């Protein structure tokens, strides 16, 4: 377990004024985009231990998700005003691309397809070409509301209410490639596709994480597994409190992954060896979002209460940054027998 070291951590200056919904690094720099319930999307330059506000723009209602183009020139955002917005990072100019009929819960940018994909509570996903004067490409109906979404290479994974998990090949969106039911028994909270394109990680509101494989061959499916995490046991009563797992982020070098939960905990996992590498000291309230920077030397940790226990006194909404040591993210070599 990593020891608490204040010199190893610093805090975002001038954070949003309400709950943080997403903290997302650019692909090639230490610029960080942050979306919030205060309707804002703000871009910061992170230069440890300082952070500089570059520019921001607003929706008409809380922003629920953001994504960034592969060239780091555009931010795409969606939220409770049903609108998909595009912001030019250089100029700060922004405009509306399109809309859904209910809040947009998820926004993903496809590098392979040069397109934006949105998932909504209106039970659809939509594809958009942000370079076109008529951006709307296609609309695809779903059996339920979208709760989580992730893309890697040509595969799009969509997690919905009712524990539906549909997998699409974005090169042929007429029908899902696979229709699955989540292996976790409770509502899906987060999905993150592995950078290798062969597996995805799924988390639930019931303190569990599942490692799933796209390949449907029986011998491959036998490798999938799930584990418990983000649970706190009271030392006096022995009662265990189980917390939702809100966020998953892959390390860009070692492909290990971090999880953040409503217990305020952040864990780093070696998925291949089924082991936890480290656990950071708990934060004051829920972790709503996690993201590693482009070289894996920083981890952005959004601390923001997500109301899983109703109204109560909580820590402030902000983003912390941890300087990441190799020992905290590198898989440990297996001991020779």
What pLDDT digit, counting tens, does each position of 95-141 carry?
Answer: 999 999 999 999 999 999 999 999 999 999 999 999 998 899 999 99
User: 139: domain range?
Assistant: 106-329
Residue 119 placed within a domain: yes
What pLDDT digit, counting tens, does each position of 37-87 carry?
Answer: 999 999 999 999 999 999 999 999 999 999 999 999 999 999 999 999 999
Interstrand relation of 298-303 and 257-261 (parallel, antiparallel or unpaired): unpaired
Task: Categorize the per-residue pLDDT at 6 as very low, low, confident or very high, splitting at 50, 70 and 90.
Answer: low
Of the candidates 111, 109, 113, the residue with the CA atom closest to the CA atom of residue 170: 113
Instruction: State the CB neighbour count (10 A cutoff) for residue 123.
Output: 18
DSSP letters, 166-215, are EEEETTB-SS-SEEEE-SSSS-EEEEEE-TTSSEEEEEETTSEEEEEES-
Indicate if the pLDDT at residue 329 is higher than 50.
yes
Residue 221's φ and ψ, nearest 5 degrees, are -65, -25
CA distance 227 to 219: 20
Helix (H) or strand (E) segment spanning residue 332? none
DSSP conformation class of 219: H
How long is the chain? 337
Q: Is-above-0.85 flag for pTM?
A: yes
The number of domains in the chain is 1
Residue 265 placed within a domain: yes
Give, in degrees to the nearest 5, the angle at Cα 309 between 303 and 310.
100
- Whether the CB-CB separation of 206 and 228 falls below 8 Å is answered with no
- Whether the CB-CB separation of 176 and 165 falls below 8 Å is answered with no
Residue 260 placed within a domain: yes
Residue 228 placed within a domain: yes
Residue 194 placed within a domain: yes
What pLDDT digit, counting tens, does each position of 269-327 carry?
Answer: 999 999 999 999 999 999 999 999 999 999 999 999 888 777 776 778 999 999 999 99
DSSP conformation class of 163: G
CA distance 303 to 299: 12
What does the buried/exposed string (b/e) look like for 135-148 if buried means 16 or more CB atoms within 10 Å of the residue's CB? bebeebebeebbbb
Residue 60 placed within a domain: no
Task: Categorize the per-residue pLDDT at 2 as very low, low, confident or very high, splitting at 50, 70 and 90.
Answer: very low
Instruction: State the CB neighbour count (10 A cutoff) for residue 210.
Output: 19
Residue 160 placed within a domain: yes
Q: Which CATH number goes with the domain that contains 306? A: 2.130.10.10
Cis-peptide, bond into residue 49, ω within 30° of zero = yes
CA distance 229 to 269: 11
CA distance 335 to 332: 9
- Whether the CB-CB separation of 96 and 116 falls below 8 Å is answered with no
Residue 73 placed within a domain: no
pLDDT (0 to 100) of residue 4: 45
């Amino acid at each position: 377990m990593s020891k608490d070291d204040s010199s190893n951590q610093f805090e975002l200056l001038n954070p949003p004024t309400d709950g943080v919904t997403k903290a997302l690094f650019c692909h090639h720099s230490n610029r960080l985009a942050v979306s919030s319930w205060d309707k804002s999307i703000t871009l910061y330059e992170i230069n440890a231990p300082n952070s500089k506000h570059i520019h921001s723009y607003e929706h008409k209602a809380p922003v629920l998700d953001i994504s960034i183009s592969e060239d780091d020139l555009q931010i795409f955002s969606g939220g409770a005003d049903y609108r998909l917005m595009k912001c030019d990072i250089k100029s700060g100019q922004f405009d509306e691309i399109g809309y859904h009929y209910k809040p947009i819960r998820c926004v993903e940018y496809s590098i392979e397809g040069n397109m934006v994909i949105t998932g909504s509570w209106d039970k659809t996903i939509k594809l958009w070409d942000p370079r076109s004067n008529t951006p709307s490409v296609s609309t695809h109906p779903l059996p339920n509301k979208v709760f989580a979404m992730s893309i890697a290479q040509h595969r799009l994974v969509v997690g919905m209410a009712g524990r539906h998990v549909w997998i699409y090949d974005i090169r042929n969106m007429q029908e899902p490639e696979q229709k699955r039911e989540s292996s976790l028994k409770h509502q899906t909270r987060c999905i993150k596709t592995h950078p290798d394109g062969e597996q995805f990680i799924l988390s639930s509101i019931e303190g569990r994480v599942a490692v799933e494989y796209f390949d449907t061959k029986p011998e491959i499916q036998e490798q999938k597994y799930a584990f418990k995490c983000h649970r706190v046991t009271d030392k006096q009563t022995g009662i265990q409190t189980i917390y939702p797992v809100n966020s998953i982020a892959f390390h860009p070098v070692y492909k290990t992954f971090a999880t953040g939960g409503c217990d305020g905990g952040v864990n780093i996992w070696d998925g291949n060896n089924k082991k936890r590498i480290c656990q950071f000291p708990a934060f004051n309230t829920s972790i709503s979002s996690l993201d590693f920077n482009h070289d894996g030397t920083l981890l952005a940790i959004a601390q923001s209460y997500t109301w899983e226990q109703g109204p109560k006194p909580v820590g402030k909404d902000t983003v912390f940054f941890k300087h990441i040591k190799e020992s905290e993210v590198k898989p440990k070599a297996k001991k020779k027998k």
